[in-house]
Structure formats: structure tokens, C-alpha cells
């Protein structure tokens, strides 16, 4: 299956879109490589928050929660108002849960609830509910 790489006037967008398509097709190692290239070559691009978050997702879905956690934390800390900062904090909790770090997972989920009430009530509601089911937090 060939994944088409876009070619427009916005090279950063093209590179991100290609990484997204690789991830969507579940070519996780290739997506990791492509998205890392985006993060390194286009650190000020409008899609940087998306790229760092998706890089974490590519590692998480490839069974590498430790590496994923690093990218989620980096994205969240780099810009807490970034387009995918809330997603990264939520998935940081998921990664910690998969690493059997329940206390850290609970801290991430609590910070998510505190800082991203709108996302919790809307766009990320179902992901949050699924993410917190396997974890027992106080």
C-alpha cells in the first residue's frame, strides 16, 4: 500500500500530513521517523503541537509507552495552550498507566481535568473515559 506524500507550497504541512497518513495506516516506525523529522525541521510550524502529539501516539500504539510519554510530556510542557497540549496530557496518563505507573497516571489525569474542562466535556470526553477506566485514582 503506497502512502501519498503531498506536495504543496507549505512543506511543513506536507511533511506533517505524510506522517499522519503513515500513522493512520498503522505504519508506526515509518510514522515515528517522519514525525520526528517534522518536529526537528519545523519547530515553529503551526502544526508543531499536532506533530509532537502524534509522534507520541505513534510510539504508544507501537507498544513503546516509555518513549511515547517523553514526547507527550515535551509537547505539554512546550506550550500548554498548544492545539494538542490537552491530548498530550491525557495520553501521558495513558502511557503512565501502560507502564504500571498508576500514581503518575492519576496525576496526569487530575491535571487534565483541572486545566482542560472544555476538552473534557467535549472533544476528548470519550477518550478520557476510556483512559481512566483501568486506573484507580483517589
Return the CATH number of the domain spanning residue range 11-132.
1.25.40.10
Task: Compute the Cα dihedral for 29, 19, 75, 137 and give only its sign.
Answer: negative
Rounded mean pLDDT, 94-112: 98
What is the per-residue pLDDT across 10-58, written as a single tens digit (0 to 9) for each?
999 999 999 999 999 999 999 999 999 999 999 999 999 999 999 999 9
Exposure string for 12-37, b = 16+ CB within 10 A, e = fewer = bbebbbbbbbbbeeebbebbbebbbb
What is the per-residue DSSP string for 71-108?
HHHHHHHH-TTSTTHHHHHHHHHHHHHHTT-HHHHHHH
pLDDT at 63 over 80: yes
pLDDT, the chain, mean: 97
pLDDT at 2 over 90: no
State the pLDDT at residue 90.
Answer: 98
pLDDT at 138 over 90: no
CA distance 95 to 42: 25
DSSP 8-state symbol, 43: T
Amino acid at each position: 500500500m503506497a502512502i501519498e506524500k503531498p506536495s504543496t507550497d507549505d512543506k511543513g504541512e506536507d511533511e506533517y500530513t505524510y506522517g499522519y497518513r503513515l500513522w493512520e495506516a498503522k505504519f508506526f516506525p515509518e510514522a515515528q521517523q517522519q514525525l520526528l523529522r517534522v518536529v526537528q525541521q519545523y519547530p515553529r510550524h503551526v502544526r508543531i503541537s499536532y506533530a509532537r502529539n502524534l509522534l507520541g501516539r505513534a510510539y504508544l500504539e507501537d507498544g513503546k509507552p516509555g518513549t511515547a510519554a517523553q514526547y507527550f510530556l515535551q509537547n505539554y510542557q512546550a506550550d500548554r495552550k498548544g492545539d494538542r497540549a490537552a491530548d498530550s496530557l491525557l495520553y501521558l496518563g495513558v502511557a503512565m498507566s501502560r507502564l504500571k505507573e498508576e500514581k503518575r497516571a492519576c496525576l496526569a489525569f487530575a491535571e487534565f481535568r483541572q486545566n482542560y474542562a472544555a476538552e473534557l466535556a467535549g472533544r476528548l470526553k470519550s477518550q478520557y473515559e476510556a483512559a481512566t477506566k483501568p486506573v484507580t485514582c483517589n
